[in-house]
Structure 1
């Protein structure tokens, strides 16, 4: 069972590629600084921390484990300097709201873990997907014959789960989702029946899968999507 990238998928972008992207961004900022319409804004001085963020994202994309600390450091430093520049140095005024947001995210994550109540043996299984995107995005592809379910979370971010090469042994499997100011997409094989049982507030659950007629040839596997979407959206498609 392989819940990670398909071995036949293209390799991750190289560090040189991300460096090239960073150089292009710097060039665009310099170009804007020299255009009459934008003169006086000083884009290079204000937005140069984007270069650190791009390089940090590139380092994380090359990391195959949780040891890509260098990427996190670059992203954090870039975000700090960017906020500092955008607020003209009055970054201290943002600490209070940022602490409140961080506390809220922590409370939500703890509550989700308790409410979902995934059995430890299931959570530890390679056939179960657990994916969390906070101010970021995740993309997972399942290739195997015994998919057992998933818990997917997106807070100010997004997730994508591709099940088109997966199979179920159990007649019914559940995926629990939580989306807050973000979005998610789940892709399933055409032979699966999908039931949406989630709730949405200023958002929506959208089932775009192909529904086969009942009777002969009806789907033998059933995927149930539960959870909540707040100020965002979740799409299930083939």
Structure 2
């Protein structure tokens, strides 16, 4: 048992180093964290499956430490319904837990949210766009994306999911490898407009 715990500690340390390095590189705009996780998710599933088969009953030290992180660390907790954010852009990464934000920026400049295990829920009905074209990227591996926007902004949404449902202001699709696009009638001629790029591996996408 001690040997297994020692092995679990080593693996856990490697996982933390790898995730931390990826998040750091994402913040430095040297890679796309969501895209990297999305590319290697089959390997993650294989590792999890092997663990379940070989050790179906024992809770490993790795699992216990992950639970402790989720319970004690604000960075990995499920985000509560936060106070309204007035910043011009949003840039957040989450490994375990949801991202839930209310945005009220009057010159919204877009941004990026990436989540591995959890939902992304953004309430932005009170935003005003900054001058020019703005882009918001939303990426999740295992979880749903929900975005609420003002009804009067020029908007283009491109969404795709490997397995799940998509609803973009009434433009719907469901099943496997689903891609949908929504474009408001005033988008092409607008000098101030928003593009939303949403991508999920397993989960639903809703944009209202």
TM-score, length basis structure 2: 0.52
Match of 1:206 among 162, 166, 170: 166
Q: Per the alignment, do residues 213 and 186 of structure 1 end up closer, same or farther by CA in structure 2, a change over 3 Å counting?
A: closer
| Residue equivalent to 1:79 | none
By how many angstroms is 1:107 displaced? Answer: 4.1
Counterpart Cα distance in 2 of 1:213 and 1:198 = 15
1:195 aligns with 2:156: yes
| Residue equivalent to 2:31 | 115
Match of 2:129 among 168, 192, 207: 168
| Residue equivalent to 2:48 | none
Please say if residues 150 and 174 of structure 1, whose CA atoms lie closer than 8 Å, have aligned partners that are also in contact.
yes
Paired residue total: 140
1:230 aligns with 2:189: no
Give the gaps of 5 or more residues in structure 1.
Answer: 1-86, 117-124
| Residue equivalent to 1:94 | 8
Q: Per the alignment, do residues 228 and 115 of structure 1 end up closer, same or farther by CA in structure 2, a change over 3 Å counting?
A: farther
By how many angstroms is 1:104 displaced? Answer: 3.8
Please say if residues 190 and 209 of structure 1, whose CA atoms lie closer than 8 Å, have aligned partners that are also in contact.
no
In structure 2, the residue corresponding to 1:164 is in which secondary structure? coil
Which one has the bigger helix percentage?
1
| Residue equivalent to 2:99 | 138
Which range moves more in the overlay, 106-115 or 159-168? Answer: 106-115
Please say if residues 120 and 140 of structure 2, whose CA atoms lie closer than 8 Å, have aligned partners that are also in contact.
no
By how many angstroms is 1:147 displaced? Answer: 0.7
Q: Per the alignment, do residues 135 and 213 of structure 1 end up closer, same or farther by CA in structure 2, a change over 3 Å counting?
A: closer
By how many angstroms is 1:134 displaced? Answer: 1.9
Counterpart Cα distance in 2 of 1:199 and 1:102 = 29
Q: Deviations over 1:132-163 (max 9, x none)?
A: 22212222111132111121111212322211
Q: Deviations over 1:150-208 (max 9, x none)?
A: 211112123222110111132421012221223332211112343234554x3468343
Larger radius of gyration: 1
| Residue equivalent to 2:115 | 154
Q: Per the alignment, do residues 189 and 153 of structure 1 end up closer, same or farther by CA in structure 2, a change over 3 Å counting?
A: same
In structure 1, the residue corresponding to 2:22 is in which secondary structure? helix
Which range moves more in the overlay, 183-192 or 220-229? Answer: 220-229
Which one has the bigger strand percentage?
2
Please say if residues 155 and 184 of structure 2, whose CA atoms lie closer than 8 Å, have aligned partners that are also in contact.
no
Give the gaps of 5 or more residues in structure 2.
Answer: 33-85, 171-181
Superposed CA RMSD: 3.7
